[in-house]
Every structure is written in C-alpha cells, then in structure tokens.
Amino acid sequence: MAPVEDSAATPVDQRAAAIEPVFRNGTITAFGITLSFSLGFLSQWASSDGVWRLYDGPPAALIIVGAALQIRALALLLPVEGLARTVYDRATRLYLIGLGLTGAGVFGAVVADVAAALFT
C-alpha cells in the first residue's frame, strides 16, 4: 500500500527547507565585506610599484579563483531563490572554498616575498 501524502505537512516542510530572510541578509553582508577585502587586496597588489615575478603567478591565480568563487556565492544568494536551504548551503560551500583559496593565495604571496627577500 502506498503511503498517503499529508498535505498539512507540506507547508512545514517548505518552511524547514527555507532560511529566514534576515539570516540571509546578514550572510550577504558578510560575504560582500570579505569579498571587498579580497578584491581590494588583489587591486592593491596589482597596482603596486614592485615588479611582478614568476613566483607571483600561483598566489595571484589562487586569489583570482577564490574571489570568483566568492562572487558566485554572493550571486547565488541575491535572488529570491537564495532563501532556499539548498541554494544557501551551496552558496556557503562555494564561499568557504573561495575564502580558503584567497587566504592561501595571500599566504603564498607573503611566503614568496619573504623567501625572495631572504635568498636574493
């Protein structure tokens, strides 16, 4: 015998599958602020007077890919569909991966500059 679908349970399930708009708004703010720092760092680094070296490439690539993932995560949350739990979870995953890549790129750039200063 097939189970009978309870129509009264459907709205509860839909509410459980959505996040609160206020919660999403806070997440959008946090994503936007950290994204602006990532882009600001990249912009400042690109416009600095120093000469770009070959070892600057991998950290720059990590920062660029990380910032792109952060932008994608923010873009997923901006439409109304960003209130869906699955969309929110996906955006959060992308954001954290992007933030990790950006952090690794910044760390790599600092290590490369320190190593170049010590061994040159």
Answer yes or no: is 8 within a domain. no
Q: What is the pLDDT of residue 120?
A: 80
Handedness of CA 26, 27, 28, 34 (dihedral sign): positive
Answer yes or no: is 48 within a domain. yes
When the pLDDT of each residue in the chain is averaged and rounded to a whole number, the result is: 89
Answer yes or no: is 7 within a domain. no
Percent of the chain with pLDDT over 70: 87
**119 half-sphere exposure, CB direction, 13 A CA radius:** 6
Q: Taking CA 66 as the corner, what is the angle to CA 118 and CA 43, rounded to the nearest 5 degrees? A: 65
Q: Which domain holds residue 34?
A: 19-119
Answer yes or no: is 4 within a domain. no
User: Does 2 score more than 80 pLDDT?
Assistant: no
Chain-centre distance of CA 85, in angstroms?
A: 17
Domains identified in the chain, total number? 1
Answer yes or no: is 5 within a domain. no
Answer yes or no: is 30 within a domain. yes
Predicted model pTM: 0.82
